[in-house]
Amino acid sequence: MIIIGCDYHPGFQQIAFVDTETGELQERRLQHREEAEKFYRDLAAQGMKVRVGMEASGHARWFERLLSELQFELWIGDAAEISSRRVRKQKTDRQDAQLILKLMLKDDFPQIWVPSWENRDLRQLLWHRHRMVQARTRMMNQLQAVALNEGLRCKKKLWREAGREKLESFQLAPWASQRRRDLLELLDQLNPTIAKLTQAIEEEVKRYPAAQRLRTHPGVGPLTALAFVLIIGKADRFQCGKQIASYLGLVPLEKSSGNQRRLGHITKQGNSLLRFLLVEAAQVTVRSLPEWRSKYCHLTMRRGRKIAKVAMARKLAVRLYWMLRKEWDYEQLTKFGSHAGQPGNRHGVK
pLDDT digits 0-9 by tens, 15-66:
999 999 898 999 999 999 899 999 999 999 999 999 999 999 888 999 999 9
DSSP state for residue 7 in the 8-state scheme: E
108-134 CB burial, b ≥16 within 10 A, e <16? ebbeeeeeeeeeeebbebbeebbebee
Q: Which of 92, 100, 117, 10 is nearest to 58 (CA)?
A: 10
Pairing mode of beta strands 12-19, 25-31: antiparallel
Positive or negative CA dihedral for 39, 41, 47, 50?
positive
Q: Is the pLDDT of residue 211 over 60?
A: yes
Determine how many CB atoms are found less than 10 A away from the CB of residue 329: 16
Helix, strand, or coil (residue 27): strand
The amino acid at 270:
G
Q: Which of 31-45, 264-278, 328-342 has the lowest mean pLDDT?
A: 328-342
Rounded to an integer, the average pLDDT of 106-117 is 92
Rounded to an integer, the average pLDDT of 290-295 is 95
Identify the bridge partners of residue 252 per DSSP, sorted by sequence position: 266
Cis geometry, peptide bond prior to residue 65 (ω within 30 degrees of 0): no
333-340 contacts, C-beta under 8 A, 24 or more apart: 333/217, 338/241
pLDDT digits (tens, 9 = 90+) for 114-161: 999 999 999 999 999 999 999 999 999 999 999 999 999 988 999 999
Nearest-angstrom CA–CA distance, 220 and 126: 15
Nearest-angstrom CA–CA distance, 44 and 52: 13
The DSSP line for 32-94 is TTHHHHHHHHHHHHTT--EEEEEE--SS-HHHHHHHHHTT-EEEEE-HHHHHHT--SS---HH
Give kind and range of the element (H or E) at residue 15: strand 12-19
* Predicted pLDDT of residue 307: 94
pTM flag (> 0.75): yes
Nearest-angstrom CA–CA distance, 176 and 27: 60
Rounded to an integer, the average pLDDT of 87-106 is 92
Q: What phi, psi does 247 have (nearest 5°)?
A: -60, -35
What is the average pLDDT score of the chain?
92
* Predicted pLDDT of residue 66: 95
Q: Which of 23, 27, 32 is nearest to 1 (CA)?
A: 23
Nearest-angstrom CA–CA distance, 48 and 294: 63
Q: Is the pLDDT of residue 308 over 80?
A: yes
| Residue 345's pLDDT band (cuts 50, 70, 90) | low
Q: Which of 206, 217, 332, 333 is nearest to 281 (CA)?
A: 217
Nearest-angstrom CA–CA distance, 303 and 309: 10
pLDDT digits (tens, 9 = 90+) for 50-62: 999 999 988 899 9
* Predicted pLDDT of residue 342: 55
Q: Are 4 and 87 in contact (CB under 8 A)?
A: no
* Predicted pLDDT of residue 350: 45
Rounded to an integer, the average pLDDT of 284-289 is 95
Determine how many CB atoms are found less than 10 A away from the CB of residue 94: 15
